[in-house]
Structure 1
Amino acid sequence: MSHLVHSSLMDATSTSATNRRPRFRRSAEPIPFRVTEGDVLILQQLLRYRFLRSTHIAALVGRSLDRTNDRLCRLFHAGYVDRPRAQLDYYPTAGSAPMVYALGELGAHLLSERGVDCANMDRTRTNREAGRPFIEHQLEIVDFHVALERSTRGRSDLRLIHPEEIIASAPERTRRMRNPLALRAGILQDDHAYDVGVVPDLVFGLSFPDGSRRCFMVEIDRGTMPVSRADATQSSFARKMRGYLQAHAEGRHTNQFAWKTFRVLVVTTDQHRTRSMLEALRQLKIPQSPGPSLFFFALGGELRSSDPLSHIWKDGTDRAIRLI
């Protein structure tokens, strides 16, 4: 089957007709349409981000929301994109919320035919198994990433470096790792050594015309993890911060990415949780690490009304900081 021409008919069906089709069950008679280069761009964005709201997609591909929703509806009923069913948890009470989409199996095959690496082709199953908390966390990561895209688009004084570019430019031993963006370090507590791994929610860089760059790792905290625990082997946000500090002290960022340094951006829920994190951070004494200044803090609610670059962050010493 040729993906470029789904049907010999063009977009004859109106948007109002597409809106009457079922939301989470594919129509037995898909809407006739041609797959366009704009549709391929939508599929590429879903491959990069995994889950996207329709509003994200419209912003990323530069289309109106109405036009984007029309194309997404056609792509869904034809099998190119999925609508994760975990949305059913909240659609009955929040039916006006933007629909969430993921790359479908047919969409992955189309990209693969065009030479795009789609490592996991069993998209439909993994999208179906994704639960609501996981999807919501991924969407908050996407909110941040898309905000970065929009705030750097069209600028000549800086360029956004995406995670895939960071991996592609990393040493070969890093590229061979199962998760090239994860950092591992050893910590010592009560005379016991522990191996700690931290997996950032997002890794990005900012490149400047003089060749310099600033590198960041992002933690989107939804308030579900304890800030501190007495047992260092149990998960907590303090354990994460200890892992980042120790990894920096051991120069893991230099070995894995050839970075001189980096900062960790923490986006959290409220001021009380931020204060608890700062208190826990100031108790961590890691020799050869930057200490509290390694971390920048912001509230997710405040970031929604600004962009990450112009926003005033607070570092672990309570200094006001901007990313550039």
Structure 2
Amino acid sequence: MDDTLAPPKRRPRFRRSPEAIPFRITDGDVLILRQLARYRFLRSSHIAALVDRSLDRTNDRLCRLYHAGYVDRPRAQLDYYPTSGSAPMVYALGDLGAELLAERGMEFGHLELSRRNRNAGRPFIEHQLEIVDFQVSIERALRLRGDIAAIHSDELVSEFPEPTRSKRNPLSMRIGVSSAGKTQEIGLVPDLVFGIRFPDGSRRCFMVEIDRGTMPIVRADIGQTSFTRKIRAYLAAHAAKMHESQFGWRAFRVLTVTTDLSRAKSMKEALRQLNVPHSPGPSLFLFAVRDELRASDPIAYTWEDGAGRQVKLV
């Protein structure tokens, strides 16, 4: 049963009120806490979409949860909140929220979440929010379809071979990549991994890279970070069939969401210059421009692969 008490008066945004607020945890609150545990950082608008509530009602519950200590409002928002005050507030799971979920059976590798939330910087939070923007749009689009469903990374990991499940990060890969006579071992950790399940039980698996335009596309030294280095590693991992041995997948594709058409074009040109034996080449990668994608949704959107072919995810 939900809390029907009158909403609290206006309170400080980034400082918990010293006054006690009449409050009791509801099942809906627990659902909010579970979403924060899954995604790490969420805007209030994300939470409203995920729990299927109005934004006003969601904001009311989040206000109560914040002042009661169950959720945090990362202070890195103060860097931009004065100039974008209408932007939805960003939330993270607080220590009390984690303790509550732990009492209800959820496992946490560590607590002290509030300390980690305080230490999170603005660039990290903004990148995480862009990942969540994409993930929530995928889940909402598939929910509206009804005939197909999203497979969250947690569910995918639960089906991995046991040696992979026992790794600290089951979604990470390490692969040796050769370039100009030099071999470099590269670690790959996708920004997001998800699947789409079809009515016949089949599925498609995707790895996602959210590009913010800050990484150089090409560098001469493979030891330095670049987009080309990353896609070379993906191609090498596919050629070595790491997706089969580590994840038990028959196939996957890499989705790249980038900032503008010019950067997407440069990425595809760099990709076509690569030759990694036994890899699928440019067809492994699908590209989208962020603003265009937001105007549609990832399922309805027409992606373009590295060879310039138009592709739908479904």
**Number of residue pairs aligned between Structure 1 and Structure 2:** 314
3-state SS, counterpart of residue 81 of structure 2: coil
4+ long deviations beyond 6 Å: none
Aligned partner of 2:19 in structure 1 is: 29
Asked whether 1:305 is paired with 2:295, we answer yes
Taking every aligned residue pair, what percent have the same amino acid on both sides?
65
> Which residue identity is paired with 1:52?
L
Quote the Cα distance in structure 2 between the aligned partners of 1:69 and 1:209. Answer: 36
Deviation at 1:212, TM superposition (A): 1.4
Aligned partner of 1:235 in structure 2 is: 225
> Which residue identity is paired with 1:164?
D
Deviation at 1:156, TM superposition (A): 4.2
Residues 157 and 209 in structure 1, CA contact (< 8 A), matched pair in contact too? yes
Deviation at 1:60, TM superposition (A): 0.5
Deviation at 1:52, TM superposition (A): 0.3
Asked whether 1:59 is paired with 2:49, we answer yes
| Selected match of 1:14 from 7, 10, 13 | 7
Stretches of structure 2 that go unaligned for 5 or more consecutive residues are none
Aligned partner of 1:130 in structure 2 is: 120
Residues 13 and 32 in structure 1, CA contact (< 8 A), matched pair in contact too? no
| Selected match of 2:168 from 166, 178, 181 | 178
Matches within 5 A, 1:1-324: 11-15=4-8, 17=9, 20-153=10-143, 155-324=145-314
Deviation at 1:155, TM superposition (A): 4.2
> Which residue identity is paired with 1:133?
P
Deviation at 1:192, TM superposition (A): 2.1
3-state SS, counterpart of residue 92 of structure 1: helix
Quote the Cα distance in structure 2 between the aligned partners of 1:142 and 1:51. Answer: 8
Quote the Cα distance in structure 1 between the aligned partners of 2:166 and 2:81. Answer: 41
Root mean square deviation, CA, Å = 1.4
Residues 42 and 61 in structure 1, CA contact (< 8 A), matched pair in contact too? yes
Quote the Cα distance in structure 1 between the aligned partners of 2:298 and 2:61. Answer: 30
Superposed CA deviations along residues 10-67 of structure 1, whole A, max 9, x for unmatched, are: 653425x1xx100000011231111000000000000000000000000100111110
Quote the Cα distance in structure 1 between the aligned partners of 2:76 and 2:259. Answer: 23
3-state SS, counterpart of residue 76 of structure 1: helix
Superposed CA deviations along residues 181-222 of structure 1, whole A, max 9, x for unmatched, are: 112211112222211111100001111122211110000000
Residues 11 and 32 in structure 1, CA contact (< 8 A), matched pair in contact too? no
3-state SS, counterpart of residue 25 of structure 2: coil
3-state SS, counterpart of residue 116 of structure 1: coil
Quote the Cα distance in structure 2 between the aligned partners of 1:149 and 1:213. Answer: 15
> Which residue identity is paired with 1:122?
E
3-state SS, counterpart of residue 200 of structure 1: coil
3-state SS, counterpart of residue 82 of structure 2: coil
3-state SS, counterpart of residue 121 of structure 1: coil
3-state SS, counterpart of residue 304 of structure 1: helix
When the two structures are superposed, what TM-score results if normalisation uses the length of structure 2? 0.97
Superposed CA deviations along residues 296-324 of structure 1, whole A, max 9, x for unmatched, are: 00001111111111100000010111000
Residues 30 and 74 in structure 1, CA contact (< 8 A), matched pair in contact too? no
3-state SS, counterpart of residue 83 of structure 2: coil
> Which residue identity is paired with 1:112?
A
Superposed CA deviations along residues 114-137 of structure 1, whole A, max 9, x for unmatched, are: 001122211000000000010000
3-state SS, counterpart of residue 184 of structure 1: strand
Q: 1:11 to 1:33 in 2, by over 3 A?
A: farther
When the two structures are superposed, what TM-score results if normalisation uses the length of structure 1? 0.94
- Comparing 103-112 with 25-34, which one deviates more in the overlay? 25-34
- Comparing 91-100 with 181-190, which one deviates more in the overlay? 181-190
Stretches of structure 1 that go unaligned for 5 or more consecutive residues are none
